[in-house]
Amino acid sequence: MSSVLFFLAAIGVITGATGVVVLRNPFYSVLALVIHLVSLAVLFLLLRAEFVAAVQVVVYAGAVMVLYVFVVAYVGGESDSIGERLRSRGAVGSGLRLGGAILGGAVCVELLIALLGTGLEAINGYGAGYSPGPQAYGTPAYIGKLLLTRFLLAFEVASFLLLIAAVGGVVLARRRGGLEDEDERDLLTPLEMLRPRGTGTMAEGVGRRSP
């Protein structure tokens, strides 16, 4: 049962990851990443990391992906032009992409050799013993106890990092003054305030507007 679930979830994880890399439209890439994250949460559950699986679904597949979808919808419409530019790059662009893929494949082979070719006996086992219970390995109580005792410093530093990131996100994405186009700006100079509206403009010159 658990091995069937493992293979289903692993197929979902790898298919979702491939979809993120391959799909041309960024919106579809985000949706493929959601599939990847939910399948990854199933793998975490199989590894008895219940709290991390719940955090993965709630924080990643919930909050972060909604942020991505909003930004893709805001920025969007660039996928076609980028794809056409990629094709117009011709031989150099496709050669670079092929080179990147070959390099990534080499990284994969190297990682597999490094992880599976080690002399560690334990990676062929099923992990340490596990006994269910309210304080068992991986439950929220267990993680909370660890976070607030042994890893208190990491917890505080992470919360500070979140604060800095929130402030930085607001600062980066805010609307700056002076960046709007000329017609969006409705600030009047003192000279414009003194004379009647529409005088001294090109519209008056051609007789469209008379004072």
Partner 1 sequence: MSIAWYLAVSAIVFSLGAIGVMTRRNPLVVLLCLELMLNGANLALIAFSRMWGNGDGQILAIVVMTVAACEVCIGLGMIVAIYRRHLPIDVDELRELQG
Nearest distance from residue 133's CB to partner 1, in Å? 14
Q: Does 34 bind partner 1 (CB under 8 A)?
A: no
Binder to partner 1 among 29, 38, 42, 61 (CB under 8 A)?
29
CA dist 140 and 52 (Å) reads: 9
Binder to partner 1 among 6, 35, 54, 209 (CB under 8 A)?
6
Q: Does 51 bind partner 1 (CB under 8 A)?
A: yes
Nearest distance from residue 177's CB to partner 1, in Å? 12
Choice between 62 and 196, CB closer to partner 1: 62
- Return the residues of window 96-135 that contact partner 1 according to CB under 8 A: 96-97, 100-101, 103-105, 107-108, 111-112, 115-116, 122-130
**101, 97, 69, 102: which is closest to 83 by C-alpha?**
97
Q: Does 58 bind partner 1 (CB under 8 A)?
A: no
CA dist 2 and 53 (Å) reads: 16
Nearest distance from residue 3's CB to partner 1, in Å? 5
Nearest distance from residue 183's CB to partner 1, in Å? 15
- Return the residues of window 146-205 that contact partner 1 according to CB under 8 A: 146-147, 151, 154, 158, 161-162, 164-166, 168-173, 175-176, 179
Binder to partner 1 among 38, 42, 56, 57 (CB under 8 A)?
56
Q: Which stretch binds partner 1 (CB under 8 A): 75-83, 187-195, 203-211?
A: 75-83
